[in-house]
Structures are given as structure tokens and as C-alpha cells.
Structure 1
Amino acid sequence: MRRSHDAAPGVGAAAAPSGPVLRLCDIGFEAAAALLARYGLALHRVADGAPIPGSYWGEPEAGVIGATVHVRADTPVHSLLHEACHLIVLPAERRALVHTDASDSDAEEDATCYLQILLADRLPGVGRDRLMADMDAWGYSFRLGSTRAWFERDADDARHWLSVRGLAAPLDPAKAP
């Protein structure tokens, strides 16, 4: 998986796609904050128009610093979940050191994408189907051509990565024992 944008990270790279994607203002702050709190993360709301601290791709995408995910009302839900999942998959000692760039491997990036899809089912009004469509619209790219194809047919490594760390099975009813 790669997020494909034409510009360099942090330099207007996350221009809005042609179709609308769900943004934090569409689902509300409270449910997202409660979801992140279950994983020991804080969700910090940044004022409209203000820079988003720790944003790798630039506004309006979420940023990460330590155990905090920074968002604005116009932050896409997929970005909020993606950055939160980067922190969730990290051990506490690595999480504390994160500033802007949380991933250190392709395997970890894939696991992050898989987990964000699972967590979408935990947010009212989102769900995995909508999140996968938004990921495609925003420019995530996968070897099989779509987020759904990757998730359903090519994500065994990501599932395994999460499973050995105890992160996937409790969230995915189809994979639970």
C-alpha cells in the first residue's frame, strides 16, 4: 500500500479528491475521541483554519505527536483513523517518541491500513464500506487496484501482523475464533 499524492508530504499534498469524503464535522468529535481513548490516545481538536500539528501530508490531514492525534473539523475520517492506527500498533515506548511520521516499515503501514478499516465499524455513520470508498477517493493505492480488493484478497500479511500482536481478532467478527 502506498498513499499516492503528487506533492511532497506537508506541502499541500492532500488536496481534496473530486468526490466528498467523510470529515470529522460529519460524524462529530465525541465518538472519535471515545474510540481513541480506548487505546490510550487523545484526540485534540485544532481550531478551523489553524495548522494541524504533526500532519505528515499537510492540512487537512490528521497529525500525530506522542499519544495525541490532532484534527480539525475538516479532517477526513480516514486520515483520523489512519494516524490513530499508526499509534495503536506501536509499543508504548515508540509511541511516546512519535512526531509526524509514525511508520517504520511497509508491514506496519499495511497493518495500519487494515486496522483503520476495522475501526471504521466502531464509528457511528462510518463503517468499513464507506471508509474504503473514501480511501480510494483520496488516493490510497493498492496492488489489486482498490482498497476493498486489497482488504478482502491481499491483506493476509497485515492480518497476521495484527494478529500476533493481539490487535485484529477482537475487532473483526469474521476473523474471531
Structure 2
Amino acid sequence: MRQPRTPMPSPTSPHADSDGPASTVMRMAQIGFEASTALLARHGLLLQQVSAGEPIPGSFWGDEEAGIIGNTVYARDDTPVHSLLHEAGHLIVLPPERRPDVHTDATDSIEEEDATCYLQIVLADQLPGVGRVRLMADMDAWGYTFRLGSALAWFEQDAGEALKFLQERGLI
């Protein structure tokens, strides 16, 4: 069984150290919510901005991580862009009839997780000022782990099944 990323950052990952590289990942405040709202709307999703300091509804990881409930993705200004795109990707890979039942945790399927990781990278190209190169660097800095050592290596050399999953469903 293969898994492209760990289920959660380890205590030694940059995510656990607020002064480490993860503190420099791109946040929603840097790109604003307008383009992200439009991107999600093209996939039948809503983006709900959460006020600073308020808990993010439906956040699996807590803190500043994006959350999902039904067809809505929740984020704050301090939410990393990669987190927003990852959670949105979870909803996009689900058949629309399954989305209303989602609350916090979209799937336990490795196949869907792989497709979500691939899709979040592709979606980054649709956000001005983000792009896949920056997003993959942020994924690495945050603590995503891939068999080949980086998001870029996985995306270029080991993500064929994820791409096929997305193509078969007309998502790419």
C-alpha cells in the first residue's frame, strides 16, 4: 500500500516549529480570497472566510488549517494556501452526491488522498501569484512526506495513478 504523504506532521517537522521553514509558507492573506472563491465556485464549492482568532469549522488538523463541511471550505487569513487547496481537492475528487455528508474528514482512501495531493498542485496554477512550484515547496516545508523525498519528485515521477484517477473522472 502506498501513501504519498504522512497523515500528520511529525513533532520534528517544520510545521511543529513556528520559526522553521513552514512559517514562510504562503498564507491566504497574501493572495486574498477573491481568486480562491472563484476557483472553488467553478467546482461547485463555497469558500467561507473565518474571522481572525476564531476556530476554523471542519478543520481536521486544527490551528490555521482549512476545514470542510459539506460543499464549504473554511479558511482564515493565516490559513496556508496549500491547506485550502488540499481540503478543496478532497471535496472535488468526491462525487457531488457524497459531498453533503462530509464533515472534517473527507476520506480514508489512499487513492483519493493521492488524487487530492495531485489536484492541489494543479489547482495552484489557477491562483495568481501561487503556481505549482511554490505550492510544492510549501508542501515540503509544511511537512508533507513523499516516497521520493519531495512533492516535486512525487508529482513528476510517481503520481501516474493519481493523474489517471483524476482523468477518469474528468477532473483534469
TM-score, L = length of structure 2: 0.91
Distance 2:18 2:44 in 1: 30
Shift of 1:104: 2.7
Q: Does 1:44 align with 2:48?
A: yes
Distance 1:56 1:76 in 2: 14
Distance 1:73 1:14 in 2: 19
Q: Does 1:29 align with 2:33?
A: yes
Aligned to 1:174: none
Aligned match for 1:123, one of 127, 132, 137 = 127
Aligned to 1:139: 143
Structure 1 stretches of 4+ with a deviation exceeding 3 A read 13-17
Identity among equivalent positions (%) equals 66
Unmatched 5+ stretches in structure 1: 8-12, 169-177
Distance 1:34 1:157, change over 3 A: same
Q: Does 1:18 align with 2:28?
A: no
Higher helix share: 2
Distance 2:141 2:19 in 1: 6
Q: CA RMSD in A?
A: 1.4
Unmatched 5+ stretches in structure 2: none
Distance 1:80 1:95 in 2: 16
On the 8 A contact 2:10/2:143 being kept in 1, the answer is: no
**Aligned residue pairs: how many?**
163
